[in-house]
Every structure is written in structure tokens, then in C-alpha cells.
Amino acid sequence: MFNTAFARNEEVVRPPAPWQDVPLTQWNDWRWQLSHRLNTVEDFARVIKLTPDEIAGLSAPEHFRVDVTPYFASLMDPDDPRCPVRLQIMPTAAELTPFIAEMEDSLSEDAHSPVPGLVHRYPDRVLMLVTTQCASYCRYCTRSRIVGDPSATFSRAAHDAQIAYIARTPQVRDVLLSGGDPLTIPQKVLEDLLRRLRAIPHVEIIRIGSRVPVFLPQRITPDLVEMLRQFHPLWMNVHFNHPKEITPEVSAALARLADAGIPLGCQSVLLAGVNDCPNIMMELVHKLVINRVRPYYLYQCDLVHGAGHFRTPVSTGIEIMEALRGHTSGYAVPTYVIDAPGGGGKIPVMPNYVISQSPDRVVVRNYEGYMSAYTQPETYTRHDPATCPACQRRAGVTDLQAGVSGLLSGQALSIKPEGFEATHQRDTKLELNSFTNGF
Ligand SMILES: *Cc1c(COP(=O)(O)O)cnc(C)c1O
């Protein structure tokens, strides 16, 4: 195993093989890491024992971009093609095969983009794609339709249009920077974007979604963190899938971010062969909370080209949630979500804990299968929106996406599927037709 000196937290005197002759100062320099990324059969053959399947994936002319930092490549098991680190970054023949139900833009992000690279799906928050470049490329990338193409990244003009949209849209209180990876753009450009977003009064929080702490922990320098902390409240979501990714270098990077007061979350993707196991997930979430990272979401794998062989049944995710909730700290339990195909957004999925209910009692069960009855109150003085200050303050906020919550609060009586009215007028139409057609 290459990285044992790092993993054992010993005094590190030289980089792992085959980089043992690279001076440590270079190895620890993120610029060196970025400019020495691996992407060809020859590059990888120096590090791992390539399988025919991996060679086929690397050699396919139309494959999704490959680029892996030497640091992350050093975490691969050279002899085991099932290594969870290796599976995430090494192309294989399987990713070239289309599967039933795959889509190019499975989350319909393009349809929800008022300006290029800005996805306004939810009422009060936007996803702002600032670049198409990453430190390394995940084979299951949900945005592989745009990510990785160096000739198609977002320009200064695109950033200007994105910020102008946010500035003229007062309901946006949360801006989520993503890409690509926002921590790969020049620090000055990122600082400028953050400063311009902070200057918009209605932007309450800014979030960065990044895998740089995982692929390139060397990039989390004191200087970068000092820059970021000027823009609080700033949150960050990182992306870990397996406990093996949390090395001493990564722990140091996460500690720097947390010490700067940046609350850290983790978004993981449920991947066959990588983390589709309750015990691996348990080890991952424990390692995350030790590093002050709150598991935030566990995603069902999207219906995206290249990711077919990573997909699991949804039942695998529910089984993992069953094994986590109650069995470990609530802080360590993420929300399992399906990002709904077609652009429905993230939908939480979990085991059922409410067994039954009457006006008198609710029967619930715990993680052990213990069932109990919670007695409902005999009398309840209902919350009165007419005297509630928060209800008064938000009365002017017209929520066009009130959904089921709107049904409960009486804003609407029904939600109808597309074509509902027309379908149920069929008799009338028939009569009309028979009348006008004369039979
Ligand atoms: C995930 C996502 C968000 C943020 O969702 P949260 O549940 O608030 O984390 C916002 N916009 C889009 C388009 C997203 O996909």
C-alpha cells in the first residue's frame, strides 16, 4: 500500500511511490499536484496494475475526462481493481455502455436556468455553477454533460449575468457555488465573486460545494482559508464516499476550514461496490463527525450516462438508513435523497417509523423494533396565524411552490397532474363532438 507512512501519521520524509524522488515541498504544493495529474494509460501504469477493463475505459476516444491528482492516485490499491478509491476515478468499459432510463441532464438543470450556469429550482436558493473544471473527475459525475470541458467553462460575462440575476431576485437568500469545483478557480476570481455576492443585501448565506479537500487537500492553505472567512456566514459541503478518503492530509485541511468557523457538511453518493454497505457507511459517518463534518445528504445515484454500473436499488439506501438511525449519533445520520429525474429536486426517502394513528394515539416504532403509543393531547389550543408575528411577516411572501404544505395551510384545495382538467372533460367533449359532427 503506497500511503502507509501518511496513514500512520509518521514523520513523512518522502512522497509515496512512484513519486518517492519528488521533493516533499513539491508534493505538498497544490500547483505541482494539479500540473502532474494522471490521465493516460502510461501515467496509471506507473502506479497501479491496470486491468484490461480500465485500459479499455482509458483508451475509449469518447470517454468523460480523466484527470487524477498524484495525491489521490496514491490512495488507490495497486493490486485490487475493486478498491473503492480506484472505482471512483478510473474509467472502465462499463461506463461507456448506455443503460435504460439514462438521461443527459437527468435533473433538468438546463430547463431551470434563467441565465447560463444558474439553476433556480427552489423558491429561496440558487445553484451557481462557476466553472466546469475539477481537481479530479468522478466517473459518476451528475454534470458530465458540461464538466471537464476546458473550452466550455464559465466566463467573466457569465458570472456577471449570474450575479445580476441574483441581485434582481430578492427571494434568493442562499447561493450555492458549485461547478465543476469552485475551489479550482483562481483565488482572486473566487474572492471577487464572493465579495460581489456578499454585497447583495438579500443574500443571507453563501455555500461552497467542493471536492478539493478530498482530491487536493494541499489546496486548503492558510491563505485560502483567510480569504474565505471574510465572507461569513459561509458554509461548505464536501463530498466523501468512503472512509479511506479521510487521510491525515484531509483531516488537516478539514480542521483548517472548521477552525475558520466554516460549518462543514458532507454529500455522499450511494455507489455500488464503493459504499453500498451499512458498515462502510457507519465507518464513514463516524470519521466525518470526528473531523467536524456533519453528514448532510446521501444521494441515490442519478440517471446519468456513465453511472449505470454504480446504481443500486433504492432499497439499498433505505437499508443503510435503517442501520444508521438510532444505532449511532443523530449528528452522524445524513438524509437519504433521490434527486428526482426531470427536475423535481431532492426528495427524502427513509424507513417508516409511524406504524399507525388514531385521534388519541400515534403508534411509533424505534430502530430496535420497539413499538410504543404516544398519547395525543386531549385539548390543543391551535396555533393562530392571525396573532403570530412570523405569519404576519411572511404573509406578503407569495410562495408559488407551496405544494403539499399549501394544501395543509388551506392556500389551495388540490394539486392536479398536467392534463387533469382536459381528461375529466372527456364526456363534455364527446357530447360537443357528437353534436358538431352530427352523429
Ligand atoms: C441541491 C440543490 C440546492 C440546495 O438544496 P438544499 O436541500 O437546500 O441543500 C439548490 N438548488 C439546486 C438546483 C440543487 O440541486
Q: What is the 3-state secondary structure (H, E, C) of the chain?
A: CCCHHHHCCCCCCCCCCCCCCCCHHHHCCHHHHHHCCECCHHHHHCCCCCCHHHHHHHHCCCCCCCCECHHHHCCCCCCCCCCHHHHHHCCCHHHHCCCCCCECCCCCCHHHCCECCEEEEECCEEEEECCCCCCCCCCCCCCCCCCCCCCCCCCHHHHHHHHHHHHCCCCCCEEEEECCCHHHCCHHHHHHHHHHHHCCCCCCEEEEECCHHHHCHHHCCHHHHHHHHHHCCEEEEECCCCHHHCCHHHHHHHHHHHHCCCCEEEEEECCCCCCCCHHHHHHHHHHHHHCCEEEEEEECCCCECCCHHHCCCHHHHHHHHHHHECCECHHHCCEEEEEECCCCEEEECCCCCEEEECCCEEEEECCCCCEEEEECCCCCCCCCCCCCHHHHHHCCCCCCCCHHHHHHCCCCCCCCCCCHHHHCCHHHHHHHHHHHHCC
Asked if pLDDT for residue 332 goes beyond 70, the answer is: yes
Asked if pLDDT for residue 286 goes beyond 90, the answer is: yes
Q: How far lies 257's CA from each of 13, 234, 238, in Å?
A: 26, 11, 11
**Ligand 1 mutation target, pool 346, 347, 349, 401, most atoms within 8 A of CB:** 346
Share of the chain above pLDDT 90, in %: 83
Q: Which atom of ligand 1 is closest in space to residue 337's alpha carbon?
A: 7
Asked if pLDDT for residue 398 goes beyond 90, the answer is: no
Which residue has better confidence, 271 or 151? 271
Which residue has better confidence, 51 or 12? 51
pLDDT at 150: 83
- Answer yes or no: are the C-beta atoms of 164 and 114 closer than 8 Å: no
**Band of pLDDT at residue 432, cut at 50, 70 and 90:** low
Give per-residue pLDDT as tens, 157-172: 999 999 999 999 999 9
Q: Which atom of ligand 1 is closest in space to residue 121's alpha carbon?
A: 13
Ligand 1 center from residue 146 Cα (angstroms): 18
Q: Which residue, judged by its Cα, is nearest atom 7 of ligand 1?
A: 346
Task: Report the catalytic residues.
Answer: 121-122, 125, 134, 138, 141, 143, 302, 339, 346
Place of cell 474572492: 191
The CATH number of the domain covering residues in 110-348:
3.20.20.70
According to DSSP, the β-strands at 354-357 and 361-365 are antiparallel
Ligand 1 center from residue 127 Cα (angstroms): 7
Q: How far is CA 102 from the centre of its chain?
A: 19
Give per-residue pLDDT as tens, 102-159: 988 989 998 899 999 999 999 999 999 999 999 999 999 999 999 998 888 899 999 9
According to DSSP, the β-strands at 293-299 and 371-375 are unpaired
- Answer yes or no: are the C-beta atoms of 237 and 266 closer than 8 Å: yes
- Answer yes or no: are the C-beta atoms of 84 and 273 closer than 8 Å: yes
pLDDT at 439: 40
Asked if pLDDT for residue 10 goes beyond 70, the answer is: no
pLDDT at 429: 55
**Band of pLDDT at residue 427, cut at 50, 70 and 90:** low
pLDDT, average across residues 340-353 = 95
CA dihedral 50, 51, 54, 55 (to 10 degrees): 80
Q: Which atom of ligand 1 is closest in space to residue 107's alpha carbon?
A: 15
Give per-residue pLDDT as tens, 77-96: 999 999 999 999 999 999 99
User: Ranked by mean pLDDT, which of 2-6, 104-108, 259-263 comes out on top?
Assistant: 259-263
CB-CB neighbours of 276 under 10 Å: 19
Q: Which atom of ligand 1 is closest in space to residue 339's alpha carbon?
A: 15
How far is Cα 28 from Cα 33, in angstroms, rounded to an integer? 8
Asked if pLDDT for residue 431 goes beyond 60, the answer is: no
Asked if pLDDT for residue 254 goes beyond 90, the answer is: yes
Share of the chain above pLDDT 70, in %: 94
pLDDT at 232: 98
Q: How far lies 73's CA from each of 86, 272, 290, 336, 390, in Å?
A: 8, 20, 24, 29, 52
Asked if pLDDT for residue 8 goes beyond 70, the answer is: no
**Ligand 1 mutation target, pool 121, 175, 177, most atoms within 8 A of CB:** 121
Q: Which residue, judged by its Cα, is nearest atom 1 of ligand 1?
A: 346
The amino acid at 34: L
pLDDT, average across residues 358-384 = 97
Ligand 1 center from residue 243 Cα (angstroms): 25
CB-CB neighbours of 207 under 10 Å: 22
Copy the grid coordinates of residue 396.
Answer: 406578503
Q: Which residues line ligand 1 (CB under 6 A)?
A: 119, 121-122, 125, 127, 176, 346
Q: Of the given ranges (8-17, 248-257, 316-325), which has the lowest mean pLDDT?
A: 8-17
pLDDT, average across residues 296-314 = 97
Ligand 1 center from residue 423 Cα (angstroms): 34
How far is Cα 307 from Cα 216, in angstroms, rounded to an integer? 23
Q: Of the given ranges (7-16, 60-69, 325-334), which has the lowest mean pLDDT?
A: 7-16
How far is Cα 269 from Cα 238, in angstroms, rounded to an integer? 12
Ligand 1 center from residue 117 Cα (angstroms): 14
Q: With CA atoms as reference, report the closest residue to 241 among 154, 312, 192.
A: 312
How far is Cα 67 from Cα 326, in angstroms, rounded to an integer? 40
According to DSSP, the β-strands at 264-269 and 293-299 are parallel
- Tell me the domain boundaries of the chain: 4-96, 110-348, 396-439
pLDDT at 430: 55
pLDDT at 2: 46
How far is Cα 264 from Cα 413, in angstroms, rounded to an integer? 40
Ligand 1 center from residue 265 Cα (angstroms): 13
Q: What is the mean pLDDT of the chain?
A: 93
> CA 35, 38, 41, 43 torsion: positive or negative?
positive
Asked if pLDDT for residue 425 goes beyond 60, the answer is: yes
Asked if pLDDT for residue 7 goes beyond 80, the answer is: no
Q: Which atom of ligand 1 is closest in space to residue 297's alpha carbon?
A: 9
**Beta-sheet strand order (sheet of 361-365):** 354-357, 361-365, 371-375
Threshold 0.85, pTM exceeds? yes
How far is Cα 293 from Cα 145, in angstroms, rounded to an integer? 29
Q: Which residue, judged by its Cα, is nearest atom 8 of ligand 1?
A: 125
**Ligand 1 mutation target, pool 108, 126, 127, most atoms within 8 A of CB:** 127
Q: Of the given ranges (11-15, 54-58, 224-228, 322-326), which has the lowest mean pLDDT?
A: 11-15
How far is Cα 187 from Cα 210, in angstroms, rounded to an integer? 14
CA dihedral 267, 269, 174, 207 (to 10 degrees): 40
Q: Of the given ranges (13-17, 179-183, 212-216, 256-260), which has the lowest mean pLDDT?
A: 13-17
